[in-house]
Amino acid sequence: MGRADDLIKRIQDNYAKLSKSQKIIAEYIINHYDKAAFMTAAKLGATINISESTVVRFANALGYNGYPELQNALQELIKTKLTTVQRLEMTEEKDEIAVLNNVLKSDIENIKETLHEIDKEDFKKVVSKILEASKIYIVASRSSIVIAEYLAFYLNLIRGNVSVVKPGVSDVFEQILRVGENDLVIGIGFPRYSKRTVEVLKYAKTQRAKIVAITDSLISPLTSVADEVLIAKSHMASFVDSLVAPLSLVNALVVAVGLKEREKVADTFEKLESIWDEYGVYISKQG
């Protein structure tokens, strides 16, 4: 237990006696410690509409000798991050409707931040690379697999030759063994980052494939071998990480790629419509 846990403990111990404004600061810090860690007291206050002096008093209320000491603790926290259990402990008891509101609003913020912070030039480059790649491998573990499957589903309709690399009857290295320099490998990883995903990307790099990472921050381990990085925010108001912004980003990739291949996509869907009609797969005409 180092300084990082210490900050959490201080917030917990002192929470009851914090003022309403100070509670807002506490909540912001817990959910956005990765940003707060690099803000001055003034910047932090401005972000949440609270005066700089209140921020400073908040640091004192937790027993720090001023804001810089609190900031150090925050930077420490980034290194180890909060465990699920800690985040759970910090979530206030709330009724269901309040949770519904908080989570959906938090996801709206995730998308807004993603739109604000994403590197637009990298986004354009990724669209081009998806169109140009000979074969596309999408690497993911655990819950990120759902984002990978969704992206693969649409890219297979639009351009084909896309596979999801995830453990199964073949191990991940068997699945990506033949990757080469004309191929694109898209790694999708959010905390907790899987060791295997990073290893697979490293292997692909040795084979001179193009590498794109879709992840939550520039300090994610997936970025180390990536040519382009697309950041999507995965904060959540409580004990789980949200994949909502990553999914929205993937939607944008799919539409951007699809519009570049409009004719092909129209042909594909027309063909599918007629097959689906013939075999009675779906209920209505809607696609």
Task: State which of positions 79-98 bind a second copy (CB under 8 A).
Answer: 80-85, 87-89, 91, 93-94, 96-97
Write the CB contacts of 261 (distance below 8 Å, at least 6 apart in sequence): 131, 158, 159
> Please, which of residues 102-121 interact with a second copy by CB under 8 A?
102-105, 107-108, 111-112, 114-115, 118, 120
Binding range to a second copy, per CB under 8 A, among 21-29, 37-45, 57-65, 139-147: 139-147
Site membership for a second copy, residue 249 (CB under 8 A): yes
Cβ closest to a second copy, residue 43 vs residue 271: 271
> Least separation, in Å, of the C-beta of 45 and a second copy?
26
User: Contact between 240 and a second copy (CB under 8 A)?
Assistant: yes
CA distance 71 to 64: 10
CB of 52 to a second copy, least distance (A): 30
The Cα–Cα gap between 192 and 84 comes to: 10
With CA atoms as reference, report the closest residue to 127 among 150, 155, 149, 163: 155
Give the tokens for residue 85. 């259990």
Site string for a second copy, 155-194 (x = CB under 8 A): -xx--x--x--xxxxxx-xxx-xx------------xxxx
Sheet of strand 136-140: strand arrangement: 162-165, 136-140, 184-189, 210-215, 228-231
Instruction: Tell me if residue 136 falls in helix, strand or coil.
Output: strand
Q: How far is the CB of 143 from a second copy (least distance, A)?
A: 6
Cβ-proximal residues to 244 (8 Å cutoff; 6+ apart), any chain:
107, 110, 111
CB of 71 to a second copy, least distance (A): 20
Q: Which stretch binds a second copy (CB under 8 A): 9-17, 23-31, 59-67, 238-246?
A: 238-246
Number of residues that bind a second copy (CB under 8 A): 106
238 binds a second copy (CB under 8 A): yes
> What is the residue whose two structure tokens read 């709330």?
94
Query: In angstroms, rounded to a whole number, what is the distance separating the alpha carbons of residues 231 and 253?
Result: 13
- Per CB under 8 A, does 287 bind a second copy? yes
258 counts as binding a second copy under rule CB under 8 A: yes
